[in-house]
Amino acid sequence: MAAISLEELTKDFGALRAVDRLSLEVRPGEVVGLLGPNGAGKTTALRVLAGLLAPTSGRALLLGFDVTERPLQARRQLGFLTASTGLYERLTVKEVLSTFGRLHGMAEVAITGRLAQLSAELELSEFLDRRCGSLSTGQKQRVSIARAVLHEPAVYVLDEPTASLDPLASSGILEMVRRARGAGKAVLFSTHRMEEAEFLCDRLVFLAAGKAVAEGTPAELRHRSGEPSLTGAFLHYAKLGARS
Amino acid sequence: MSAVGVLLKKELIDSLRDRRTLLTMVLLPILLYPGMMALVGFVMAAGQERLAREELTVAVVGDDAEAFLRGQPPPAHTSYRRLTRAEAERALGEKKVWAVVDAPEGSHQEVSRGRQAHLTVLYTKRHDRSMEALERVRRVLASAAVGALKLRLAGAKLPETFAEPLKTEEVDVDFQKDLGPLVASRVLPVLLVVMLLMSALYPAVDATAGEKERGTLETLLAAPVHPLQVMAAKYLSVSVIATLATLVNLTAMAISFGIGFRFHETVARMAFGPGQISVLLLCLVPASFLSSGVALAVASLARSFKDAQNLLTPVALLAMVPGLLTMMPGIELNAWTAAIPLLNVALLVKATVLGTAGPLHVLITLASVLACSAGAVALAARAFQSERLRFGGAQSWRDLLRPSRPR
C-alpha cells in the first residue's frame, strides 16, 4: 500500500485552479520530489495532504486515511515541515516539543525519552531551555525538524524546507530525509534546489499550472527532456507546462 | 490532558510571556487610574484656586449700578471700572473687563422706595474668567438685595423671617458626605468598558493574526487537532487574560478611589463595598468573555498585526459609545437597556456604584451578555473553520457570516 496517495486531486481558489487532477503515490522508504515553478501548485498540494486545505475534488490519503474524512488519524501519521520554522518564539524549545508531543497523544515518559534521543541526534541539548525567539536560524530549523519527527511519523511532507537556509543548515534537513528513507518512511517534498532533488529523490514529479507534466527518476527526466542537467529538464518542463 | 488543555497551556504561556500583553494587562491599569485621578484632581484644584486668586475687572455702567456695588464690601481680587454701556460691551468683547453691571438711572432710588429695580449683568460662557466674575458680582448683588430687604422689613416692623415663610433644608442622604460615587458613576463605566475591550484586543490579535504572520498556525493545524479545539483554547486563553486584566483594573480602581486623592474633594474617599464588588465581578467577568469573543472574531479576519489594527480600530471606537452614553442624563439601567450588550454592562457599573442596581436588571444583563458571548464565539469559530480566513485571502466582515464548510 502507498503511504502517500493523491487521487485526481483538484483544488480551486475561486476561479483559479491551483491543482488540476493530480495523482501520485509515495511508497514507504521512497523519497519523491515535487518540482515546478512558483505558482505551479506544489504548496497547495502539500497543504491538502497536511489537512490544511480541503480538496475541491479527488482524494488525498496518508496510510489509507483520507485527510478530509479522517483528518486526525491521517495527521497522526504525518511529519510536516515548511520553510517557515513555525516555532513559538516565547516558548522554550522543550515547551514547544512537549506541546506537540502531547498533541500527538504521546505520554510524558515517551516525550522525555524521545527528547533525549533527538537532542543527541540534532544537538539540541545546549538550547533546550532557551526560548525559540533567541535561537539562530540554523538552531530553529533543527528544532523544527525535531518537532516534525518527534512522534515518529510514517510520512514526511516537506514544503521547501531548505528555502531560507544556508548550506550548513540545509545539510541537517537532507540528513533527516536520508535517515527517514533508511527507516522506511515515505517522504514527499517540494524544492527549487535541483542539486537536492538529484541527490535525494528516488522519483520526481514536475508540476506546471497545477498539473503533473512529467514523472520519473532524475535520470529518466533528464533523458526524456534531452537536457544534460536537471536544471535544464526543469526549464524544459516549465516551458512545456506554460505552452499547454 | 485533553488537546484543548494542552493548547490552552501553550496559549497562556505564550501570551503571559509577551511584554505587550503584560503592559496592557498589569502596568497600564496600575499606573493609569492613580495617575489619572491625581492628574484630574490636581488640575481641577489648581485651576479653581488660580481662578479664585485672579485679579478681575468688572465694568460698572451708571451711578446706580455703582451705588449697588459700592454699598457692599468688594469681592477679593476684584476691581470696578466706570464705563458707558457701549464702552463696557466693547471692553467685554476685547477681554479688558470680564463682566458688566448695568442699572437704569434712578433704580437705586426705586429700591429705597420699596420698589423693584431691574439690573443687567453681561458676561460670556466662553471664558472661565467671565464665569468667575459673574459669580463674584452675583454674591455682591445678592448681598445688596438682602440688605435692602432687611431695611424694608425693619421699616415695616416685621421680623426677618417674614420674607421667608418656608425655610427648606435639602438633604441629599446619598451624597451629603461625599460626591465621590457620583463622579465615579460617570467615569467608571467608560473606563471599565474600554479597558475590558483593550485587555482582550491585544491577546486576540496575537493569537490569530500574530500566529498567521509568524507561520505557527500552519504548523499547529497540521497536528492532529480539530480547528475548533484550537479556537476553543484561544478563546479560553484570551478570556482568562481579559478577566485577569479586568480584575487588575478593578483592584487598581478600588485602591485609587479607596486611598482617595486630596487634591479635590469630589474624587476623595470613594470605596466599593463587598456587595458592589460582587455585582461588578458578576457582570464584568462574562463581559470579558463577550469582548474576547468579539475581539477574536474580528482579529481572525486579519492576515497580520497591521490588518488587525485597521479592523479593530473602529471596534474599539464603537466600544466607547456605550460608556459615553452612560454619561447622558436620563439613561439608566432598566429592563430595556439591560438587554443591550455592553451598554448594559456600562449602566450596571454605574448603577452598582450608585447602589441602585436591582436583581432583575442584573439577571437580564447577565443573560444578554452570555447570549452575545455565545454568538461572538460562534462567529469566531466560523472564522477558524474557514480556510480562506485561516490562510490569508479575504478580509471582509461578510466572511464572518458567510456559510463555510466545517472541517
A67 to chain B: nearest residue by CA? B407
Burial bucket for residue A142 (CB in 10 Å: 0-12, 13-18, 19+): buried
Average pLDDT (B293-317) is 84
As given in the structure block, the three cell numbers for residue A241 are 507546462
Rounded-to-integer distance, Cα A241 and Cα A223, Å: 18
B265-282: burial string, b at 16+ Cβ within 10 Å, e else: ebbbbbebeeebeebbee
* Position B223 confidence tier, pLDDT thresholds 50, 70, 90: very high
Asked whether residue A82 is assigned to any structural domain, the reply reads no
Residue B10 to residue A71, Cβ atoms within 8 A: no
Q: What CA dihedral angle connects B280, B284, B285 and B290, to 10 degrees? A: 160
Residues A138-183 pLDDT 10s: 888 889 989 999 999 999 998 888 877 778 778 877 888 888 899 9
Percent of chain B residues topping a pLDDT of 70: 85
pLDDT of residue B403: 52
Of the candidates A152, A174, A194, which is a domain's last residue? A152
Are residue A167 and residue A130 in the same domain, yes or no?
no
What mean pLDDT do residues B323-344 have?
Answer: 84
Which segments of B293-401 are extended strands (E)?
none
> Which of A72, A97, A106, A132 has the highest number of chain B CBs within 10 A, making it the mutation to test binding with B?
A72
Whether A41 and A134 map to the same domain: the answer is no
pLDDT greater than 60 at residue B394: no
Sheet holding A78-82, edge to edge: A78-82, A155-159, A186-190, A31-35, A203-208, A211-216
Q: Give the separation between CA B49 and CA B28, rounded to whole angstroms.
A: 30
Residue of B nearest to A84 (CA): B215
Contact, B58 vs B133, CB < 8 A? Answer: yes
Are A97 and A117 in contact by the 8 Å Cβ rule? The answer is no
Q: Which residues contact B225 (CB under 8 A, 6 or more apart)?
A: A72, A103, B3, B7
At A23, the pLDDT band (50, 70, 90 cuts) reads very high
Q: Number of residue pairs across A and B with CB atoms under 8 Å?
A: 81
Q: Is the model's pLDDT at B266 over the cut of 60?
A: no
How far A191 CA sits from the closest chain B CA (Å)?
18
Q: With contact defined as beta carbons under 8 Å apart, do B98 and B92 qualify?
A: yes
Per domain, the residue ranges of chain B are 3-44+177-401, 54-163
Residue A61: C-alpha distances to residues A47, A188, B374 (Å) = 13, 13, 36
Over residues B313-334, the mean pLDDT reads 82
- Tell which of A12, A65, A97, A100 to mutate to test the B interface (max B CBs under 10 Å): A100
CB contact under 8 A, A54 and B214: no
CATH of the domain at A29: 3.40.50.300
Does the pLDDT value for residue B178 go beyond 70?
no
Q: Compute the Cα dihedral for B392, A136, A76, A22 and give only its sign.
A: positive
Of A88, A89, A104, the CB nearest to B223: A104
Please name the member of A13, A52, A68 whose beta carbon is closest to the beta carbon of B222: A52
The three cell numbers of residue B99 are 463682566
For chain A, give the percent of residues with pLDDT over 70: 99
Can you give the pLDDT at residue B12? Answer: 92
Place of cell 475591550: B197
Helix axes B274-299 and B305-325, enclosed angle (nearest 10)? 140
ipTM of the complex model: 0.89
Interval A99-113: pLDDT, tens = 999 999 999 999 999
Look at residue A235 and tell me if it is in a domain. Answer: yes
Q: Which of A24-33, B10-19, B28-37, B386-395 has the lowest mean pLDDT?
A: B386-395
Lowest-confidence region among A9-18, B139-148, B325-334: B325-334
Question: Looking at the predicted structure, is the pLDDT value of residue B164 above 60?
Answer: yes
Mean per-residue pLDDT, B267-278: 61
Interface test with B, best of A102, A111, A150 (most B CBs within 10 A): A102
Cα→Cα distances B25→A54, B28, B242, B249, Å: 38, 7, 8, 8
Summarize pLDDT for A29-57 with one digit per residue, the tens: 999 999 988 888 999 999 999 988 999 99
Q: Do B223 and A52 touch (CB under 8 A)?
A: no
Minimum CA–CA partner of A77 in chain B:
B224
Q: Identify the residue with better confidence: B380 or B94.
A: B94
Same structural domain, A195 and A92: no
SS3 B100: strand
Of B357, B234, B228, B340, the closest CA to residue B287 belongs to: B340
Binned at pLDDT 50, 70 and 90, residue B107 comes out as very high
Same domain, A135 and A173: no
The CA dihedral of B388, B389, B394, B397, to the nearest 10 degrees, is 130
| Inter-chain touch A53–B216, beta carbons under 8 Å | no
Summarize the confidence of residues B199-224 as an average pLDDT.
88
Q: Give the distance from residue B290's alpha carbon to the nearest chain A alpha carbon, in angstroms.
A: 27
Task: Say whether pLDDT at B121 is over 80.
Answer: yes
Which grid cell is B259? Answer: 486611598
Query: Rounded to an integer, what distance in angstroms lies between the CA atom of residue B345 and that of residue B365?
Result: 7
Q: How confident is the model at residue B265 (pLDDT cuts 50, 70, 90)?
A: low
d(CA B84, CA B87): 5
For residues B45 and B340, which has the higher predicted lDDT (pLDDT)?
A: B340
Q: Are A120 and A59 found together in one domain?
A: no
Which one of A52, A102, A105 has the shortest CB-CB distance to B221? A52
- CA A61 to chain CA centroid, nearest Å: 15
A71 shares its domain with A143: no
Q: State whether A159 and A141 are in the same domain.
A: no
Contacts B389 to A, Cβ<8 Å: none
Domain boundary among the residues A152, A169, A188 is at A152
Residues A131 and A161 grouped into a single domain: no
The pLDDT of residue B267 is 47
From the list B13, B223, B407, which residue is nearest A91 (CB)?
A: B13
d(CA B322, CA B346): 6
**Same domain, residue pair A143 and A158:** no
For range B49-77, the mean pLDDT = 91
CB-nearest partner of B216 from A50, A53, A88: A88
Mean residue pLDDT of chain B comes to 82
> Which residue pairs from B305-311 have beta carbons closer than 8 angstroms and sit at least 24 positions apart in sequence?
B305/B205, B305/B209, B305/B210, B305/B213, B307/B209, B307/B395, B308/B205, B308/B208, B308/B209, B309/B205, B311/B395
Give the closest of B3, B393, B407 to A71, CB-based: B407
A112 inside domain: yes
Identify the pLDDT of residue B392: 59
Rounded average pLDDT over A57-83? 92
User: Confidence class of residue B405 from pLDDT cuts 50, 70 and 90?
Assistant: very low
Give chain A's mean pLDDT: 90
Chain B residues with CB within 8 Å of chain A CB: 1, 3, 6-7, 9-10, 13-14, 17-18, 214-216, 218-226, 387, 390-391, 393, 405, 407
- The x, y and z cell numbers of residue A67, run together, are 485527510
Whole-angstrom distance, CA of residue B186 vs CA of residue B183: 5
Q: What is the CB neighbour count within 10 angstroms for residue A113?
A: 12
Is the same domain home to A55 and A133? no
Same domain (yes/no): A159, A238: yes
Question: Grid coordinates in use for B299?
Answer: 482579529
How distant is the Cα of A104 from the closest Cα of chain B, in angstroms? 6
The edge-to-edge listing of strands for the beta sheet with B99-102 is: B78-82, B56-61, B99-102, B120-122
What pLDDT was estimated at residue B208?
A: 87
Q: What pLDDT score was predicted for residue B406? A: 40
Kindly report the three-state secondary structure assignment for every residue of chain A. CCCEEEEEEEEEECCEEEEEEEEEEECCCCEEEEECCCCCCHHHHHHHHCCCCCCCEEEEEECCEECCCCHHHHHHCEEEEECCCCCCCCCEHHHHHHHHHHHCCCCHHHHHHHHHHHHHHHCCHHHCCCEHHHCCHHHHHHHHHHHHHCCCCCEEEEECCCCCCCHHHHHHHHHHHHHHHHCCCEEEEECCCHHHHHHHCCEEEEEECCEEEEEECHHHHHHHHCCCCHHHHHHHHHHHHHHC
Q: Is A83:A164 a contact under the CB 8 Å cutoff?
A: yes
- Residue A106, domain extent: 88-152
Confirm whether A83 is domain-assigned. Answer: no
pLDDT of residue B289: 84
- Regarding whether A72 and A168 lie in a shared domain, the answer is yes
Residue B5, pLDDT > 90, answer yes
Q: Which three cell numbers stand for residue B28?
A: 497600564
Q: For residue B214, which residues of chain A lie inside 8 Å, CB to CB? A: 84, 86, 89
Q: Are the beta carbons of B223 and A86 separated by less than 8 Å?
A: no
Residue B405's identity, in one-letter code, is R
Residue contact B215–A85, C-beta within 8 A:
yes
The residue that leads in pLDDT, B388 or B236, is B236
Which of A45-59, B77-91, B316-330, B357-371 has the least mean pLDDT?
A: B316-330
In the predicted model, what is the mean pLDDT of residues A214-237?
Answer: 89
Cross-chain residue pair B7–A103, CB shorter than 8 Å: yes
Q: Where are the alpha helices (DSSP H) in B26-95?
A: 28-52, 63-70, 85-93
The number of domains in chain A is: 2
Name the range with the highest mean pLDDT among A108-117, B187-196, B255-264.
Answer: A108-117
CATH code: domain B54-163 is 3.40.1710.10
